Amino acid sequence: MMKRSILLSFVLLACSLSAGSRNVADMFIDMPDTIMPYITHDQRVDMVNMRIIDAQTPATVKSVFRSDVSLTELTNDRLTVECGQFQYTLTRLRGKEDGDTLFCELCTVSSVRATTSCHIYDSHWNYVRSIDFADLVSHLSCYTDEEAERLRQIDFPVVEVTVDGDVSILFLDVRDPLPYKDEKGKNDVLLQRNVKWDGESFKEN
């Protein structure tokens, strides 16, 4: 227990940008068990410790279902966990007020079509809001006539979201929700857009 406490202290010191700040490692460790119920608090501590010690190797533990859960990325502003068809990304964002910090939780499930949900929390895991990417895509204005027509033909667009580099910018891949006709059509993307965080929500970039 003493050894684990020392390791945890080292992790929190190594990950912090400044005194009193909250980073994604802090948030991940303090995450309510209901958000990711298949791993425990102690396992989250172990994953962060392993990733800090060896930043080049995914930190992997066994879930309650005996499947591998891997922490594949950890920086001050972004964390990614993978488990089978599930990918969980947590990013740190600036709020509207100076010094205000919010956290964006992106959950992507890859089945017939990869789809991403999004929830925003404050630094104490209090829920702030959700982002409906399908609705967001339908209200963007930067479409050509051809793109707009393609979007109108989809009743419920499926949106997969990725983060690359700047955590305030999200990249959206929009697909038709219908199953693939063949393997060739698996990666067919109808539309691609990116949106940027403005302190309150993601807006057209």
List the one residue out of 142, 186, 126 whose CA is nearest residue 160.
186
User: Encoding tokens for residue 119?
Assistant: 């929830």
Q: How many CA atoms lie within 13 A of 56 on its CB side?
A: 0
Query: Residue 179: which pLDDT band, with cuts at 50, 70 and 90?
Result: low
Concatenating the DSSP letter of every residue in 15-56 gives: H-SSTT---HHHHHHT--TTTSTTS-HHHHHHHHHHHHH-TT
* CA atoms of 6 and 145, how far apart (whole Å): 59
* CA atoms of 195 and 204, how far apart (whole Å): 5
* CA atoms of 205 and 170, how far apart (whole Å): 9
Residues 6 or more apart whose CB falls under 8 angstroms from that of 64 comprise 37, 38, 39
Instruction: Let me know how long the chain is.
Output: 205
Query: How do residues 65-120 score in pLDDT, each as one tens digit?
Result: 899 999 999 998 999 999 989 999 999 998 887 678 999 999 999 877 789 999 99
User: Encoding tokens for residue 76?
Assistant: 């001050």
- Give 138 or 169, the one with higher predicted confidence: 169
- Provide the pLDDT for residue 145: 77
- Residue 62 gets the label, from left (phi > 0), alpha (psi -120 to 50) or beta, of beta
- Give 119 or 192, the one with higher predicted confidence: 119
Task: Examine the pLDDT at 55 and tell me if it is beyond 60.
Answer: yes
User: Encoding tokens for residue 177?
Assistant: 């929700």
* CA atoms of 183 and 88, how far apart (whole Å): 25
